[in-house]
Amino acid sequence: MPAAAGINISELAGDRGVRECLQWFTREKQWINEIHLQLCRVPAPTFLEQDRAAWFQEQLRSLGWNTSIDRTGNVIAAQGEGPYVALSAHLDTVIAPRSKEDIYVDADGRFCGPGVSDNGAGLAALLAVARVWKNGARIPGLSGNLLLVANVGEEGEGNLLGMRQLCKQPPLGRPIEAFVVVDGANTDHITTRALGSRRFEIAFSGPGGHSWSDFGVGNPLHALCRAVAFFAETRIEGTPKSAVNVGLIEGGSSVNAIPQLARAKVDIRSESNEKMDELVDLLAAAVDRARDLENQRATGGKVTSKLKEIGSRPAAALPEDSAILQYVRAVDAHLGVRSHLDCSSTDANIPLSLGIPAIAIGAGGIGGGAHTTQEWFRPEGRDLGLKRIFLTLLLLLRSSPADATADSGTGK
């Protein structure tokens, strides 16, 4: 029988200890807002999350948690011994604030500045849960323990390195049986399908020279442009849904100089690992074809090409009958949250690809403008998202983590 069958959310939420914790999220919204703004003012671009990690570790220690920072920079806070249910949120942002003044509250009460929603909202939720978990009344009947993780390397070329470390070498040597990943603000979705991506750098090299006196030698930039054009002609339609993008081109030093090096970065995405493999083969063929055409045209030095993979996120999916999905759906029904299942690229990609139950959800409130300097977050209604996270964690921790894993149908 499905693990969530017969769960009475009203009874759980009506427990005195649980009720006091739920009320805390509404009562202490000012503290949550203030800590949210504080953390966003500590810059944490991908690969440079150390200052925010140190700040975050100190906050968790002040709330009574035993904390550590692992070899990749993840901040870990554990309650008791494993196996664990993990609540995680990524530390890094695509754009970092240049000064504390870049993070502010506008006249309408919106939080403004890079990272305030993605993932300031998620990190604030992590701290709110950390505080209520330690200060709230005792909650009986929990058979598992909670693990809090503020992880590195989620954005861009971070390649989910923090989550890879967590799944490869579990903290404290104890297994993590399920993940609740908090990413962004909005509560209208439950990410159960991991959108896969593979990222590459194309590099063409040649002897270079003067645009007049050395005309005729192979031109790396010409070859690169051909490769991009060939790959851009790839027809992508139907299912599984897929996409390709050339997001960066660079090379050369002057308008009258033949470049010695030209590079581009390519993003390939799909709901299917097999489809991504096909698109990678087409990219490699486009690079080879462009190199050969440039060398056929050249009357002097030739160009060489190199295709280097710089990132890989596996596609995967959570079975529809998994316990963790039934739990969050039951919580949504109780709270009146209207949500849909979606496919996205998040930290949940890694545990899902390994058969570990995982979902990614929003922290509450409303956000927009992610990955831009105009990012914003509106905190009204945040407490609903926090209650959603809290109740979902309780359901996971009240059941046996091993049973929840078995019921998910994701056995390896």
Residues 210 and 246 grouped into a single domain: yes
Give strand pairing partners of 197: 269, 313
Quick check: is 4 in a domain? no
Q: How far is CA 297 from CA 71, 216, 347, 361, in A?
A: 50, 8, 46, 53
Quick check: is 2 in a domain? no
Q: State the residue for tokens 């709901």.
A: 271
pLDDT at 172: 78
Residues 30 and 161 grouped into a single domain: yes
Residues 337 and 282 grouped into a single domain: no
How would you label 125-157 residue by residue, b for 16+ Cβ within 10 Å and e otherwise? bbbbbbbbbeebeebeebebbbbbbbbbbbbbe
Q: How far apart are CA 149 and CA 74, in angstroms?
A: 7
Residues 153 and 200 grouped into a single domain: no
pLDDT at 6: 58
Residues 50 and 181 grouped into a single domain: yes
Q: Containing domain of residue 270, as a range?
A: 196-313
Q: What is the pLDDT of residues 338-385, one digit of tens each?
A: 999 999 999 999 999 999 999 999 999 999 999 999 999 999 999 999
Residues 22 and 82 grouped into a single domain: yes
- Given a cut of 70, the residues of the chain with pLDDT beneath it are 1-6, 136-137, 400-412
Residues 277 and 257 grouped into a single domain: yes
Q: Which CATH number characterizes residue 201's domain?
A: 3.30.70.360
Quick check: is 140 in a domain? yes
Quick check: is 351 in a domain? yes
CA angle 7, 20, 68 (to 5 degrees): 90
pLDDT at 24: 96
Domain boundary among 261, 282, 313: 313
Residues 23 and 142 grouped into a single domain: yes
Q: Which CATH number characterizes residue 161's domain?
A: 3.40.630.10
Domain boundary among 297, 313, 329: 313
Q: How far apart are CA 254 and CA 215, in angstroms?
A: 15
Residues 150 and 19 grouped into a single domain: yes
Domain boundary among 278, 313, 348: 313
Residues 118 and 17 grouped into a single domain: yes
The total of structural domains in the chain comes to 2
Q: What is the pTM of this model?
A: 0.91
